[in-house]
Structure formats: C-alpha cells, structure tokens
Amino acid sequence: MIHRDIASIRNTISSWRADSKQVRIGLVPTMGALHEGHLSLVDEARRRCDRVVVSIFVNPTQFDSKTDLAAYPRTEAEDIALLAGADAVFIPSVEVMYPSGFSSQVQVRGLADRLEGVHRPGHFDGMATVVTKLFGISGADLAFFGEKDWQQLQIVRRLVADLDLPVGIVPCPTLREADGLALSSRNRRLSPEARAIAPRLHAIMQDCARALRAGDRADECLETARRALGTAGFTGIDYLVCADAETLAPSEPAKQEGRALRLLAAASLGSVRLIDNIVI
C-alpha cells in the first residue's frame, strides 16, 4: 500500500495497532534507488516484525550540493516493484515533510562533526531531522540501518538514546558485490572505467586492516593505504582513518585494547564519492 501523506500512513499504522496491541512495526528508511542492500534490510525487518514500513524520500536537507541532489537517482516505479515484502511504502513529497513554516532541526554534536561531517557540512543535521520525523510518523518499534553508513548509524543510535525515543535501532551488515564493492545507489553513476577501479577501495582497506591487526604503526599503515588509493586511480581521498567504532575518535590500535575499532574511508572516482568501513 502506497502512502504519500502523513495522515494516511498514520491511519494505516493505527489500524494495525487496533487489530493487535502486540503488533511489532519495523521501519526501513531509504532514499530510493533501491538495491539488494536495501532489500536485505526489508528482509531483516520482515523476520523481526509483524508489519514493515519502508520510506522513500530523497531528503534535500542532507545534501550540501544542489548538483549532487539533482544527480541522485530517482527510480520510484522500480523501487515500488521491489517492495513486495513491505506492508506499507511511505513516499512523501518535500512539501509534506517540510511544510511552509518548518523551522526545526535535530543536531547531534560531536559525532556529526567528524569525518563525513567535515566534508559534507549540514548533512547529518538533515539526516537526523528527517529520521526523527520518520520515527515520529511511523511510531516504529524497530528501525533498520545498514552498517555501510557507519557514522550515520552511530549518530542515529546517539539521538535515540539522548532523546529517549522508543525505537530500537537494528544494524544490518554491509552487502557487497562479488568483487568487494559495497552496494550503494551511487554505484550506478560510475563509468565503466571507474567501476573497474572501485573495488580497490575495499581491497586496500583490507590490506591496511591486516597490517594494523599485525601491530604495524597506524600512521604508516594509513599512509601506505592512501598512496595505494592514489596509485589505483582515486582522484580524491577525503579521509582514511582508524577510529573508535562508537565515538569515531581517531585511535591507535595499540592504545585501544578492549575497544572495538573501525577503519573508515571516503574517496572519489571522478564525480562519484564512495564510502566504506570495515572492522579492525
């Protein structure tokens, strides 16, 4: 069932609650251009919940570039056809989500100021605001997020904890192509030449993580990896860091015994910017 306004989706959810007070509702927030990674979130929501809501909304407030917003793929008809496993699909317009006079914003300081936050000013404010709205609109018991956007996942967890929102956040593993490239809606914008290079990001990160686990110095491992990315053909490396998995603060493995660490990267091939992260 397709819903395009807030009253409609709320009425449907209210009817589910009326039928059974024990119904568990899952939310999968997306910006459309769906791929197998998104569908794996829907599948996980289906396993854990009685009803599944998928939202499709290209959120303009989390784009720092009008060009990037315009270039973001929009494939609504194809997306709807893929969502047979959802009980409801919420596809609001910008006017529905941000009506005249809208003036509120959710900010998560600290976590949002690192990594992506440095290179995409305002991105996480827009994301946090729209996600908070979606939680309120859906009244979901569980919400499902992919680990590929690791920083986003940590920010959502923080805002839910800080604002005492009654929704559980379920992280889901990154899905990859056979050659290691993390699935992303942006991958369809890669030229054939860039697509051939793109898997090197994950491969080089794996090499770096292995060296870090072996006890090599972090600064040397990261510099070697940055040079390898440049040699492979990446035209810009915004960051490649070893960080605490929860706080995202840069960390030396030797000094973080007992703490989970993550290797996070953002690098570009032409106009397409790729992000990835792996466990150290």
Q: How confident is the model over 120-150, as pLDDT tens digits? A: 999 999 999 999 999 999 999 999 999 999 9
Where b means 16+ CB within 10 Å and e means fewer, 246-266 reads eebeebebeebeeeebbbbbb
pLDDT tens digits for range 118-128? 999 999 999 99
- Strands laid side by side in the 142-146 sheet: 2-3, 88-90, 51-56, 25-30, 142-146, 168-172
For the chain, residues with pLDDT lower than 70 are 254-257
Catalytic one of 3, 38, 123, 202: 38
Distance CA 150, CA 264 (A): 8
Q: What is the pLDDT of residue 254?
A: 63
38 given a catalytic annotation: yes
Q: What is the pLDDT of residue 216?
A: 93
Q: What is the pLDDT of residue 214?
A: 92
3-state helix, strand, coil in the chain (%, to 5): 45, 20, 35
Task: Identify residue 165 by its one-letter amino acid code.
Answer: L
Task: List domains and CATH numbers for the chain.
Answer: 2-172 (3.40.50.620), 187-279 (3.30.1300.10)
Strands 261-269 and 272-279 come out as: antiparallel
Please give the model's pTM, rounded to 2 decimal places. 0.95
Joined tokens for residue 11: 């009425």
148 labelled binding-site residue: yes
206 labelled binding-site residue: no
273 labelled binding-site residue: no
26 labelled binding-site residue: no
Q: What is the pLDDT of residue 150?
A: 98
